[in-house]
């Protein structure tokens, strides 16, 4: 779009990027700019400065708080009254304050959503307008997260998700939606945040802050303003521009979640034959933890089992006599699981090898039997993955184009010990299981009166959780769910705490009551959620604000930095948090916020000892799936919903949703095995898999 002769409205336009953008637009021929900002923002002086350069009647200042829906609406109406039309809306207002974060959510997210809807209502062709452009301010943190400001990151992710979900309506509205993602910029807001931890979450430590800041290069607000003008002139509908380090702005394209899948952990083993076999494969050092063969076998095994963060691992020259096993039991928690797996394979070998009480370990096994066992296991691996269930713990082994190295080694080895073989197939479990199990743990599950939350509670109890607190509204389904679970698992193991998670005082008090009743907490599952785009306030209050509040409460009670013992926080997001969801842009943005918040908060694990896990289910058979068209934004009508439902991708999902039980079991599996910071996709009743957000790349 040509800027010449256009009328522009800019929120937060009295200072910083907003002011520089107003000036740059006027320099490029804009007819007028409307600056909306707070009464103490120096807006009158900003207009005076613009009038000095461009003359009168090219800029006005309107007092308005974007967090106040009525004030923002009045400002839009006053702008149109003053200039007769609007062509461009730039939702720029924002603050950075993770310490007092609720006003930040109102401004950075709700202000953008309100400004966008008002822009569509005034400019959209579906409302009698002539079309136009809306530019929404996010941040590079909204593309990759940042431990300096997890909550700010969540709001920035939300803006990306919301705006991206609107691009499909261009034909109907005639309004291009664009996103600008600046890097660190020398504004008053950034200067305050970077100069003092008073604006940061209290768990941010000096070392993390210093490390992140050393990698940041700042740019001027004038540079960002030039990028915004270029975005308006050249950016296609839905374009995302990055402006950083005073370099030319560039467009980025967000990857599909299917491209972010993490491949199964692979472990390569080399074996010591009669002549001392040497390692045949050594993966790159930056991709795995290499265990050197210069240590004792006992040390190798202990380190391998305890290396829970390894991606891949090579064990060289492993051979271990069973005489050494008792020492291992005192140094790792893996032996009971390993022994159980050995015993579990007795049917495939020889039960007489084991004592009747199954308490002792067989001394050794012949090479012939060992080879037969391996061949049997390989036979099971005809499909892409070998899935082996032991106490409902899933073992995944990556397929290989070549014959497994162990078979080659067995042809030359004189003999192998049975323990070595089962170490190979259970080491992956030992590495990936961080919490081991959920037995005797205590948990809180919000929104557990029905749906996914109910089944998560049920599966936790089935897996041995000591006590679970159901936090939900005081309605019949919540009481019924509690009674059902108490009858099944015992009244002492299930407690119901009537709670409105959007009520700060009530939620704080309930959390305190649970901690007191359970004498601590190990697991929090932030599951409560709704899908109602017509109620922006409620959607964000439940889906985002309650998730943040619950996470912060849990960190205060169980975080090691506060004297706790650590634990696990599970945030239920959605596949809608990983890409656009055109039917429900507000819901989509709320789930983007959860993903962004979790992916930034996970880097505090060393300090807090609290794992952060994010679950992203696809279409699931719950009450939420029965969506009412009245809950959509007004420009999303029945015809569009019908169009969406007829697309191949939607038909595969909405008419064949996965079960809530599958999502629940996958969530509990992630609690047992998930690495800190992992994001899990659960879709179509298929095994859940982790993904990793990648750095943004130029389109």
Q: What is the domain partition of the chain in residue ranges?
A: 7-252, 442-691
Nearest in space to 89 (alpha carbons), one of 30, 40, 152: 30
Residue ranges in the chain modelled with pLDDT below 50: 264-435
The reported pLDDT for the residue numbered 111 is 97
The reported pLDDT for the residue numbered 190 is 63
The reported pLDDT for the residue numbered 493 is 98
Given this chain, do its domains 7-252 and 442-691 carry the same CATH topology? Answer: yes
Backbone angles phi, psi at 135, to 5 degrees: -110, 120
The reported pLDDT for the residue numbered 342 is 32
Q: What proportions of the chain, in percent to the nearest 5, are helix, strand and coil? A: 50, 15, 35
Count the residues in the chain.
699
List the structure tokens of 28: 């490029």
Q: What is the DSSP string of 252-266?
A: E-PPPGGGGBPPPPE
List the structure tokens of 268: 């390569």
- Are the C-beta atoms of residues 11 and 39 closer than 8 Å to each other? no
H/E stretch holding 214:
helix 206-214
The reported pLDDT for the residue numbered 627 is 62
- Active-site amino acid positions: 587
The reported pLDDT for the residue numbered 694 is 79
Bridge partners of residue 34, in order along the sequence = 9, 60
The reported pLDDT for the residue numbered 221 is 94
Question: Which of these CATH numbers, 3.20.20.10, 3.40.50.300, 3.40.605.10, 3.40.50.720, describes 7-252?
Answer: 3.40.50.720
Question: Which of these CATH numbers, 3.40.50.360, 3.40.50.720, 1.20.1050.10, 3.90.1330.10, describes 442-691?
Answer: 3.40.50.720
Bridging pattern class, strands 175-182 and 132-137: parallel
Burial label for 639, CB within 10 Å (0-12, 13-18, 19+), is exposed
Say if pTM beats, i.e. exceeds, 0.85.
no
User: Who contacts 91 (Cβ-Cβ below 8 Å, separation ≥6)?
Assistant: 11, 66, 111, 112, 115, 116, 119, 134, 135, 136, 137
Provide the 10 A C-beta neighbour count for residue 261: 13
């Amino acid at each position: 779009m040509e800027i010449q002769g256009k009328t522009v409205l800019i929120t937060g336009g009295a200072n910083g990027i907003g002011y520089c953008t107003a000036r740059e637009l006027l320099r490029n021929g804009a007819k007028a700019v409307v600056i909306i900002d707070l009464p103490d923002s120096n807006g009158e002086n900003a207009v005076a400065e613009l009038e000095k350069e461009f003359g009168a009647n090219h800029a006005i200042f309107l007092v308005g708080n974007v967090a106040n829906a009525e004030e923002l609406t009045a400002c839009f109406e006053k702008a149109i009254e003053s200039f007769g039309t609007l062509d461009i809306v730039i939702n720029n207002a924002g603050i950075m304050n993770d310490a007092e974060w609720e006003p930040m959510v109102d401004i950075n997210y709700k202000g953008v959503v309100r400004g966008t809807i008002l822009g569509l209502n005034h400019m959209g062709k579906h409302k009698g307008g002539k079309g136009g452009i809306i530019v929404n301010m996010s941040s590079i943190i909204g593309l990759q997260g940042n431990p300096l400001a997890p909550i700010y990151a969540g709001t920035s992710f939300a803006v990306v998700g919301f705006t991206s979900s609107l691009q499909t309506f261009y034909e109907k509205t005639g309004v291009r939606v664009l996103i600008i993602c600046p890097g660190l910029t020398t504004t008053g807001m950034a200067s305050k945040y970077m100069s003092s931890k008073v604006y940061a979450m209290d768990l941010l430590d000096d070392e993390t802050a210093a490390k992140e800041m050393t990698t940041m290069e700042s740019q001027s607000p004038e540079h960002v303003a030039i990028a915004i003008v270029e975005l308006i002139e050249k950016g296609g509908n839905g374009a995302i521009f990055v402006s950083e380090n005073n370099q030319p702005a560039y467009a980025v394209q967000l990857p599909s979640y299917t491209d972010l899948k993490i491949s199964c952990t692979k472990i390569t083993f080399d074996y010591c034959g009669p002549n001392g076999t040497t390692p045949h494969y050594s993966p790159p050092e930056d991709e795995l933890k290499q265990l050197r063969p210069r240590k004792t076998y006992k040390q190798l095994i202990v380190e391998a089992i305890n290396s829970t963060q390894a991606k891949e691992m090579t064990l060289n020259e492993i051979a271990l006599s069973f005489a050494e096993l008792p020492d291992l039991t005192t140094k790792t928690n893996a032996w009971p699981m390993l022994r159980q797996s050995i015993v579990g394979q007795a049917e495939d070998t020889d039960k007489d090898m084991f004592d009747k009480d199954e308490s002792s370990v067989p001394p050794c096994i012949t090479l012939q039997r060992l080879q037969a066992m391996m061949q049997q296991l390989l036979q099971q691996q005809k499909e892409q993955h070998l899935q082996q269930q032991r106490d409902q713990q899933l073992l995944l082994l990556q397929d290989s184009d070549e014959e497994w190295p162990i078979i080659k080694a067995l042809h030359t080895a004189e003999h192998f010990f049975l323990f070595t073989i089962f170490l190979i197939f259970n080491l992956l479990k030992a590495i990936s299981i961080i919490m081991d199990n959920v037995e005797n743990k205590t948990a809180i599950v919000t929104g557990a009166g029905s749906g996914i939350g109910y089944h998560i509670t049920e599966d936790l109890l089935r897996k041995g959780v000591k006590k679970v607190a159901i936090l939900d509204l005081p309605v019949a389904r919540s009481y019924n769910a509690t009674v059902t679970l108490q009858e099944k698992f015992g009244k002492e193991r299930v407690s119901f705490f009537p709670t409105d998670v959007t009520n700060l005082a009530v939620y704080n008090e309930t959390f305190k009551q649970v901690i007191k009743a359970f004498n601590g907490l190990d697991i929090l599952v932030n599951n409560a959620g709704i899908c109602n785009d017509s109620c922006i306030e409620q959607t964000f209050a439940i889906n985002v604000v309650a998730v943040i509040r619950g996470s912060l409460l849990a960190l205060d009670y169980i975080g090691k930095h506060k004297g706790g013992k650590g634990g696990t926080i599970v945030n239920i997001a959605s596949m809608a948090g990983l890409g656009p969801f055109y039917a429900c842009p507000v819901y989509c943005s709320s789930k983007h916020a959860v993903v962004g918040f979790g992916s930034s908060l996970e880097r505090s694990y060393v300090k807090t000892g609290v794992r952060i896990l994010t679950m992203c289910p696809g279409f699931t058979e719950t009450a939420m799936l029965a969506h009412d068209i009245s809950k959509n934004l007004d420009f999303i009508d029945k015809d569009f919903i019908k169009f969406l439902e007829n697309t191949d991708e939607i038909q595969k999902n909405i008419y064949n949703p996965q079960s809530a039980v599958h999502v629940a079991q996958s969530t509990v599996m992630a609690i047992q095995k998930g690495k800190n910071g992992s994001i899990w996709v659960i879709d179509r009743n298929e095994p859940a898999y982790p993904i990793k957000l990648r750095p943004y790349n130029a389109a």
